[in-house]
Amino acid sequence: QSALTQPASVSGSPGQSITISCTGTSSDVGGYNFVSWYQQHPGKAPKLMIYDVSNRPSGVSNRFSGSKSGNTASLTISGLQAEDEADYFCSSYTGSNPFYVFGTGTEVTVL
Amino acid sequence: QVQLVESGGGVVQPGRSLRLSCAASGFIFSDYTVHWVRQAPGKGLEWLAVISYDGSQRYSADSVRGRLTISRDNSKNTLYLQMNSLRVDDTAVYYCARAESSSWHNFDNWGQGTLVTVSS
């Protein structure tokens, strides 16, 4: 099972919207609605931002939203803020070993 | 609040063993499934293993099966990862992560990680 493909970096100005893609296959992203997104600041633990494709955990800003089309999931951050600058990883359930696969990671820069 | 604190990392020679621990607090540990995930330096995340709330179900990634074993002691609120026959490419930060209560698939709380360096 290969890692899910994400763009290495995405940038935007404060207040803008950005979208991060996460491309897999029909065996992972396309096959299940178990896609999650994690935010990771340098030296910190990952934080769950989106689960089951488009659900936000309690306490996560509604500026974060998720969607999926076919084998590609997306995370959109609207109203970009300086605190959003971090690495973002997607993950998906795969149904077979390894049962979870993560994305290659995207570095978000706020200009 | 929910806390997961990993320990046991360090520098170890290739071929040796290490046991990582993850101490849980702030929630009923025995109610939750937990995972181990690692991150090699400058790399992405890699799922390693999962164990159900009562330890009756456990699954490991094929890439590490036979060398890395997940276990838990609910009386001590602690998760373990026994790592044998360590290799240089096992060098990584190792995280424990709690699965969300209604689904194994969402890792809703993570520890800060413990660094394992395998080097001669």
Residue B65 confidence (pLDDT) above 90 = no
Q: What is the pLDDT of residue A45?
A: 87
What strands lie across the sheet with B78-83, from one edge to the other? B3-7, B18-25, B78-83, B68-73
Question: Stretch B7-29: mean pLDDT, rounded?
Answer: 97
pLDDT at B57: 94
Q: Is B100–A91 a contact, with Cβ atoms under 8 angstroms apart?
A: no
Q: What's the pLDDT tens digit per position in A30-82? A: 999 999 999 999 888 899 999 999 999 999 999 999 999 999 999 999 999 99
Beta carbons of A51 and B95 less than 8 Å apart:
no
Q: Quick one: average pLDDT of B67-86? A: 97
The CA distance from B15 to A44, in Å, is 29
So what's the pLDDT on residue A62?
A: 96
Task: Read off the pLDDT of each residue in A10-38 and give the average, rounded to a whole number.
Answer: 96
Option in A44, A57, A98 nearest B108 (CB): A57
Mean pLDDT calculated for residue range A26-31: 94
Task: Encode pLDDT of A86-109 as tens digits.
Answer: 999 999 999 888 999 999 999 999
User: Residue B93: what pLDDT?
Assistant: 95
Q: What pLDDT, on the 0 to 100 scale, is given for residue A96?
A: 87
Ranges of beta strands (E only) in chain B are 3-7, 10-12, 18-25, 34-39, 45-51, 58-60, 68-73, 78-83, 92-99, 107-110, 114-118
Interface touch A51/B63, C-beta < 8 Å: no
What average pLDDT score do residues B15-32 get? Answer: 97
Q: Chain A contacts of B97, Cβ < 8 Å?
A: 46
Alpha-helix runs per DSSP H in chain B = none
